[in-house]
Chains A and B, each alone.
Chain A
Amino acid sequence: MSVRLVRLLLCSLLLLSGCNQPDPPGIPRQRSAGIPATGDTLVTGSIGEASTLIPLLASDAASHSIAGYIYNGLVKYDKELNLVGDLARSWEVSPDGLVITFHLRQGVKWQDGHEFTGRDVLYTYGVTIDPKTPTSYAEDFKQVKKVECPDPYTVRVTYDHPFAPALASWGSSILPAHLLEGKDITRTDLARRPVGTGPYRLKEWVAGQQITLESFDGYFEGRPYLDRVVDRLIPDSSTMYLELKAGGIDMMNLTPVQYQRQTVGASFLEHFNKYRYPASSYVYMGYNLRNPLFSDLRVRRALTHAINKEELIQGVLLGMGQTAKGPYKPGTWAWNPHIIDPAYDPAEARRLLAQAGWRDTDGDGILDKGGKPFQFTVLTNQGNAERLKSAQIIQQRLRSVGIDMKIRVIEWASFITHFIDTRNFEAVILGWTLGQDPDIFDVWHSSKSGKKELNFIGYKNEEVDRLIVAGRGTFDQKERQRCYWRIQEILAQEQPYTFLYVPDALPTVSARVRGIVPAPAGISYDFIRWYVPKKEQRYAQ
């Protein structure tokens, strides 16, 4: 009996791995929009569990993504990535750029029925800059000289200097003063039973399993169509993908392989819509400019000439991305479309290296100068397959122009403490997430190259410094654009990083959900207008 069992088991495993018939390829189906209706539940999955639903204290993506349904800021970005009012109806900036006056919406209710006023804004500002609050979001508010509330629906903020990123910093979640004033924010139960002004409120939080949100009928922009949002904690990404295929979750971000190869079958496209737009991040290879090897501009340009960025996008992202030439997301107003950076040209790379004195004198295929071969190690962090694959492709390309690049993968914590903080590296492959405001002071200004600061490559260019300061010191978008476009020209010329690529975000959402309109801001900016037609609703009340 047992032998038969073994045989059966072996056979079924073989069946599973070998004879699995691929889904016939399908084409995305056009669906009727149906009639907008309230009801149904959207089930999402999340790799990590939210830690606290007071966004001021949270530092993880999971917490912020849940809190995003529950709270509002004074301002927000619309689908074209322009700042518009949220809890503020409108605002004006004084001609000298020092005072911002917000006019708040009237009649906005907290989810417990209390009215929202300027007092909540004052409290949120006060608790954020309070030295006793363990938050990482105090920095922008510290630029504020004073905040006044001349009447319940007006908030006036004064700055010492004109500070353009200031406006966007008022998009931080506003907290309920009437529940928090006089309490220790780190000990309040609001962290697990939040009260916000947003379209959804917390219904239930089952630790380690799921968070259930339900629509808030009194939301000032109108009740959202979807009755509930359930966020399931699924720590393993393979499991999450299987849950998606089995219909256990309705929405997920796909990897390029999943998007291009595993979700092209007719049965998948019958049940899901796939979306694609540039993500707000880029991947780069950064050089330690303190190292004599990389302080030579010709060498850095030669390295970029030797790297084929198109090939990286095809090989690593299966085409799901675009080349990066500077630190901005293509299509945004700060992004300069006219940048020309060193194109893939191995001959030019070899010529530049020869000019810089690197020649293969001993015939071993590796360039050398003064008896030392051109050799360096690139570091990248563990757990990011895309960066490692990029490094391996670059390694081959550099080898063909006579550069010996070694690759080392290091766990994140030691990467930061032992290599980045001590500046003990030659080159790194890392990525930056891009904020909506184009200010890049923290990463590129020469004053930010101290210990633990983010200009760890030690980049220093006086014109860039001046332009960064000018760009954050004015609210005039034309003027700011001029500054950032010029910075991109300089960076393209100097190649302190080889900017590699901007990947695409590849979300997929259950096809029963309608009303999703992709825009530069992605898909979820208009979440409260998503709906499921009555006939297709899946989860009953």
Chain B
Amino acid sequence: MAAYLLKRIAMLFPLLLGITLITFTVIHLAPGEPVEMQTAMSPKITAETRQRLREFYGLDKPLHVQYGLWLGRIARLDFGRSFAPDNRPVMDKIRERIPVTLSLNLIALVLEFGLALPIGILAAVRRSTLLDKGLTLFVFLGFAMPTFWLALLLMYLFGVKLEWLPISGLHSLGSERLAPFPWLLDLARHLILPLGVASFGSLAGLSRYMRSTMLEVIGQDYITTARAKGLSERTVILKHALRNALLPIITLLGFSLPGLIGGSVIFETIFAIPGMGQLFFMGVMARDYPLVMGILVIGAGLTLVGNLLADLCYALADPRIRHGGG
């Protein structure tokens, strides 16, 4: 087990290096440079100014030198300074966005699992009934509906017509003067629409997965045995079947780790939520290389760690993997 772990960890480094090399090249291959995006079509720019800006950002050096310099800094955990005119350290920019994205995604994840699992179980237990079909229709409706469209309709209904909920942002104006509880209530009111839309859209995948593993388990002999023993249907489903059906779902949890800081551009843009997705999108549009690379490295790192954790959990749960096959 320890050897397996060591081998997996050792593999992470070359993988990460390869990822950075590819992403660095690709982002530099995209047409347009940071200087270009700031100065294109501006009448007051001369070739000299442009050159001056390129030197300021180190863009005048050959690409492999730029990569070497960047790699050297990253090895010392220095993510560099943003190419945006504010020139702030990339780490600061990421740090001020992570709490929002992380907490939102955590809540969304809890909601998603909390809703999708019961839906999946219910659909499996009442297989082929009207309820099963209704639930299927419901989750696929969410899956198929474009997020931005649904979001705009709901904003119009609840925000403009009924005036029940705020439309965008995280806080109302002047909320900083509220007492902790009303402040939290204000925040919660702002979160209802974005979280609702996000969870509705992601129910389908997980609930269908839950339904199929549940169906598979229910068909097993030990469930028949449990029923034959005279256990109540409730005990059979929730104790015997669910436990076994949940195993693969735990693996899925491991895969959601990088998604926690990823954030979604469309969703954050439409609800004006200051998260990582927006930061990344704007970084790409402005060709802010250090920022884009910083976010990608963190994302890649988390993906690799997530995969590792998922594998480990699986190994812990399944003796066949733990003992090296057989």
In the complex where A6-B138, A248-B166 touch, is A134 in contact with B270 (Cβ < 8 A)? no
Q: Are A186 and B87 in contact (CB under 8 A)?
A: yes
In the complex where A6-B138, A43-B173, A452-B50 touch, is A417 in contact with B36 (Cβ < 8 A)? yes
Q: Are A208 and B167 in contact (CB under 8 A)?
A: no
Binds A, one of B67-75, B105-113, B154-162: B154-162
Instruction: Identify which of A140, A191, A230, A239 contacts B86 (C-beta below 8 A).
Output: A191
- Chain B residue nearest in CB terms to A48: B282
Measured between beta carbons, the chain B residues less than 8 angstroms from A63 are 85
Within the complex, the shortest CB–CB distance from A523 to chain B, in Å, comes to 23
Interface centre among B40, B138, B173, B278 (most CB of A within 10 A): B173
In the complex where A232-B169, A232-B272 touch, is A59 in contact with B174 (Cβ < 8 A)? no
Q: Are B163 and A246 in contact (CB under 8 A)?
A: yes
Within the complex, the shortest CB–CB distance from A235 to chain B, in Å, comes to 4
In the complex where A6-B137, A187-B87, A246-B163 touch, is A238 in contact with B270 (Cβ < 8 A)? yes
Q: Are B32 and A236 in contact (CB under 8 A)?
A: no
- Chain A residue nearest in CB terms to B134: A3
Within the complex, the shortest CB–CB distance from B260 to chain A, in Å, comes to 18
Binds B, one of A12-20, A217-225, A285-293: A12-20
Q: Are B272 and A239 in contact (CB under 8 A)?
A: yes
Measured between beta carbons, the chain A residues less than 8 angstroms from B269 are 235-236
Does A413 interact with chain B (Cβ within 8 Å)? yes
Measured between beta carbons, the chain B residues less than 8 angstroms from A236 are 148, 269-270, 272
Query: Within residues 233 to 272 of chain A, which ones have a CB less than 8 A from any CB in chain B?
Result: 233-236, 238-239, 242-243, 245-246, 248
Measured between beta carbons, the chain B residues less than 8 angstroms from A452 are 45, 47, 50
Instruction: Identify which of B96, B159, B173, B275 contacts A242 (C-beta below 8 A).
Output: B159
Does A58 interact with chain B (Cβ within 8 Å)? yes
Complex alpha-carbon distance, A51 and B34, angstroms: 14
Q: Are B157 and A209 in contact (CB under 8 A)?
A: no
Does B56 interact with chain A (Cβ within 8 Å)? yes
Q: Are A539 and B39 in contact (CB under 8 A)?
A: no
Does B38 interact with chain A (Cβ within 8 Å)? yes
Number of residue pairs spanning A and B whose beta carbons lie under 8 angstroms apart: 164
Measured between beta carbons, the chain B residues less than 8 angstroms from A417 are 31-32, 36
Does A57 interact with chain B (Cβ within 8 Å)? yes
Complex alpha-carbon distance, A454 and B43, angstroms: 7
Within the complex, the shortest CB–CB distance from B167 to chain A, in Å, comes to 5
Within the complex, the shortest CB–CB distance from B150 to chain A, in Å, comes to 8
Complex alpha-carbon distance, A59 and B40, angstroms: 11
Does B232 interact with chain A (Cβ within 8 Å)? no
Instruction: Identify which of B44, B168, B274 contacts A239 (C-beta below 8 A).
Output: B168
Does A60 interact with chain B (Cβ within 8 Å)? yes
Q: Are A238 and B152 in contact (CB under 8 A)?
A: yes
Query: Within residues 103 to 161 of chain B, which ones have a CB less than 8 A from any CB in chain A?
Result: 130-131, 134-135, 137-138, 141, 148, 152-153, 155-157, 159-160
Measured between beta carbons, the chain A residues less than 8 angstroms from B57 are 134
Complex alpha-carbon distance, A106 and B53, angstroms: 37
Interface centre among B100, B166, B272 (most CB of A within 10 A): B272
Does A443 interact with chain B (Cβ within 8 Å)? yes
Q: Are B167 and A248 in contact (CB under 8 A)?
A: yes
Query: Within residues 298 to 325 of chain B, which ones have a CB less than 8 A from any CB in chain A?
Result: none
In the complex where A59-B38, A192-B86, A417-B36 touch, is A134 in contact with B52 (Cβ < 8 A)? yes
Does A117 interact with chain B (Cβ within 8 Å)? no
Complex alpha-carbon distance, A3 and B122, angstroms: 13
Within the complex, the shortest CB–CB distance from A396 to chain B, in Å, comes to 28
Q: Are B282 and A414 in contact (CB under 8 A)?
A: no
Q: Are B155 and A242 in contact (CB under 8 A)?
A: yes
Q: Are B141 and A9 in contact (CB under 8 A)?
A: yes
Measured between beta carbons, the chain B residues less than 8 angstroms from A207 are 93, 96-97, 274
Complex alpha-carbon distance, A12 and B278, angstroms: 30
In the complex where A48-B282, A414-B31 touch, is A58 in contact with B85 (Cβ < 8 A)? yes
Measured between beta carbons, the chain A residues less than 8 angstroms from B131 are 2-3
Annotate A453-476 by CB proximity to B: 1 below 8 A, 0 otherwise.
Answer: 010000000000000000000000
Instruction: Identify which of A2, A140, A209 contacts B44 (C-beta below 8 A).
Output: A140
Q: Are B52 and A242 in contact (CB under 8 A)?
A: no
Measured between beta carbons, the chain A residues less than 8 angstroms from B130 are 3
Q: Are B153 and A17 in contact (CB under 8 A)?
A: yes
Measured between beta carbons, the chain B residues less than 8 angstroms from A3 are 130-131, 134
Q: Are B44 and A136 in contact (CB under 8 A)?
A: yes
Annotate A430-464 by CB proximity to B: 1 below 8 A, 0 otherwise.
Answer: 00000100000011000000011010000000000
Measured between beta carbons, the chain A residues less than 8 angstroms from B42 are 59, 136
Does B41 interact with chain A (Cβ within 8 Å)? yes
- Chain A residue nearest in CB terms to B159: A246
Q: Are A443 and B270 in contact (CB under 8 A)?
A: no
Does A215 interact with chain B (Cβ within 8 Å)? no
Complex alpha-carbon distance, A106 and B67, angstroms: 53
Complex alpha-carbon distance, A230 and B30, angstroms: 36
Interface centre among B50, B134, B141 (most CB of A within 10 A): B134
Q: Are A13 and B153 in contact (CB under 8 A)?
A: yes
Does A139 interact with chain B (Cβ within 8 Å)? yes
Query: Within residues 253 to 298 of chain B, which ones have a CB less than 8 A from any CB in chain A?
Result: 268-272, 274-275, 278-279, 282, 287
Within the complex, the shortest CB–CB distance from B299 to chain A, in Å, comes to 19
Does A356 interact with chain B (Cβ within 8 Å)? no
Query: Within residues 154 to 211 of chain A, which ones have a CB less than 8 A from any CB in chain B?
Result: 186-187, 191-192, 207-210
Does A41 interact with chain B (Cβ within 8 Å)? yes
Complex alpha-carbon distance, A186 and B85, angstroms: 8
Q: Are A16 and B153 in contact (CB under 8 A)?
A: yes
Task: Give the 3 A-B CB pairs with smallest separation, nearest first.
Answer: A208-B274, A413-B32, A442-B43
- List residues of A whose CB falls within 8 A of some B CB: 2-3, 5-6, 9-10, 12-13, 16-17, 41, 43, 48-49, 51-52, 57-60, 63, 131-132, 134-140, 186-187, 191-192, 207-210, 230, 232-236, 238-239, 242-243, 245-246, 248, 411-414, 416-418, 435, 442-443, 451-452, 454, 539-540
15 contacts between A and B (CB under 8 A): A2-B131, A6-B137, A49-B282, A134-B85, A136-B44, A139-B49, A208-B279, A210-B169, A235-B278, A238-B270, A239-B271, A242-B156, A413-B36, A442-B43, A454-B43
Question: What 14 additional pairs, Cβ within 8 angstroms, besides A246-B159, A248-B169, A416-B36?
Answer: A6-B137, A10-B141, A16-B156, A51-B86, A52-B87, A132-B56, A137-B44, A232-B272, A236-B269, A239-B168, A248-B167, A413-B31, A416-B32, A417-B31
